[in-house]
Copies of this chain bind each other. A is one copy, B any other.
Amino acid sequence: MNPRPARTAVTKQKLFDAALRLLGERGAAEVTVDEIASAAGVAKGTVYYNFGSKDALIDALLRHGVDLLAQRLRPADDTAEPVEHLVGAALEFFRDYPAFGQLLVSEMWRSPGQWHGTLSLLRDDIVAIFKQVIQRSAEQGKLPEGVQAGTASAALFGTLLVVALDWQVFQPDRSLDQVRDSVMLLVRGVSPHPR
């Protein structure tokens, strides 16, 4: 956006990049501000000058990451297979930012956690996009009776998160297409509906 990014913007980006990698790998509590600063190539004081505190840095990072994810997920009006698009886009995002998935999953359900508040809100943003897509499917009769769009959205998001992490950690040599196809098969039902 900004054609001449202020020095600050550059510094913040360097800190984001470094923090994302380290926090994803080892968890928020296991990473020190010293490490983040030195991985970003700046002095420790700079973290505090730019973000105020370690928590605020992580908070900003989570918001930034979820924004990126939401951008990628939002389907165009004419997307042919919206569910498939969702699955593909989510997997793509977690492939590009594997650390972010690890960060999300380890903070999302920590009820009295530092970032539980922030994450609840962010999660709602994401789930809302899923819900919108799934509801459209339902209107077209593609959803089995009895399945609530809200529940299904939350579950699908969680499943994608977990599948993406499993892919990165335990089966890194599978291709995006393979994983997306597996998920689509699952989405279409592991166990058949009783007739």
- Which of A's residues lie within 8 Å of B, judged by CB? 25-30, 83, 101-102, 105-113, 120, 123, 134, 137, 142-144, 146-148, 151-152, 154-156, 158-159, 161-163, 165-166, 168-170, 181-193
Contact = CB atoms under 8 A, between A and B. Distances in A.
A144 B188 contact: yes
Contacts of A83: 190-191
B25 A110 contact: yes
- The number of times this chain is found in the oligomer is 4
Name which of A109, A134, A148 has the most chain B CB atoms within 10 A of its CB.
A109
Contacts of A155: 159, 162-163, 166, 182-183, 186
A112 B162 contact: no
A26 B191 contact: no
A186 B27 contact: no
